[in-house]
Amino acid sequence: MLVKWIRCSVVDRRGFERGQREWAGLVGEPGFRGQSGGWSRTRPGVAHIFAFWDNRVFYDSFMARGHDRMAAGQSDMFRDMRVTLFERSFDVKTGFEPHFTGADVARVAHSRVHEERAEHFVLMQRQVWNPAMAGSPGMLRGVFAQAPGSEFLTLSLWQSNAERGKYRAAGAERLAARAQTETDVIELTGDVVDLEPSWTVTA
């Protein structure tokens, strides 16, 4: 499964939100699995959108045909857009499906990893981070995905920010030390996203 992560700084919030309605046209697109997003809790005006496709072939076909028409309504509403495509490696918890039912908050962690440490980083995600996140009562589901160049995305969906906060308080520093995160990672950035139900498009 292809995971598309978009983040941008919005200059016209009302217009941007109005333009999000156009993405309802994704329903029925071959290979489309789901899309949602929302506003950063820590960076005013920053929007995140997460889209899921069966594979790159279906995604490229849509980009060549219908994307520009749907995106036209938001063309002047944002700046500094960054788009990254990842391939799903495995689930965080089990049975990930790209729907957002019951989730109020998404946590996104973006890691650039030393190439020679990438295998270890993935192993630690499986053995250290995933069990810790899966054991948190408020964590619903998530996905771990990789892009070329030893670049990784961990996207997790939570019932609420309060529940996510309990997981953070439960020993993130201890887990990072166990996983040797500082040795593996060149750069680690992240954000917490308040999901907007009106942005959700279900296949």
| Helix (H), strand (E), coil (C) string for the chain | CEEEEEEEEECCHHHHHHHHHHHHHHCCCCCEEEEEEEEECCCCCEEEEEEEECCHHHHHHHHHHCHHHHHHHHCCCEEEEEEEEEEEEEEECCCCCCCCCCCCEEEEEEEEECHHHHHHHHHHHHHHHHHHHHCCCCEEEEEEEEECCCEEEEEEEECCHHHHHHHHHCCHHHHHHHHCHHHHEEEEEEEEEEECHHHCEEC
The answer to whether domain 2-202 has CATH 3.30.70.100 is yes
Q: Over the stretch 31-74, which tens digit does the pLDDT of each residue have?
A: 999 999 999 999 999 999 999 999 999 999 999 999 999 998 89
Q: Over the stretch 82-134, which tens digit does the pLDDT of each residue have?
A: 999 999 999 998 788 898 989 999 999 999 999 999 999 999 999 998 888 88
**What's the pLDDT at 175?**
80
Instruction: Give the confidence band of 136 by pLDDT, cuts at 50, 70, 90.
Output: confident
Rounded CA separation 158/192 (Å): 10
pLDDT, greater one: 168 or 30: 30
Rounded CA separation 7/1 (Å): 20
**What's the pLDDT at 170?**
53
In 3D space, the residue among 103, 6, 99 whose CA is nearest the CA of residue 46 turns out to be: 6
**What's the pLDDT at 75?**
85
Hey, where are the domains in the chain? 2-202
Q: Over the stretch 147-189, which tens digit does the pLDDT of each residue have?
A: 998 999 999 999 977 666 655 545 677 888 888 889 999 999 9
**What's the pLDDT at 160?**
79
**What's the pLDDT at 24?**
95
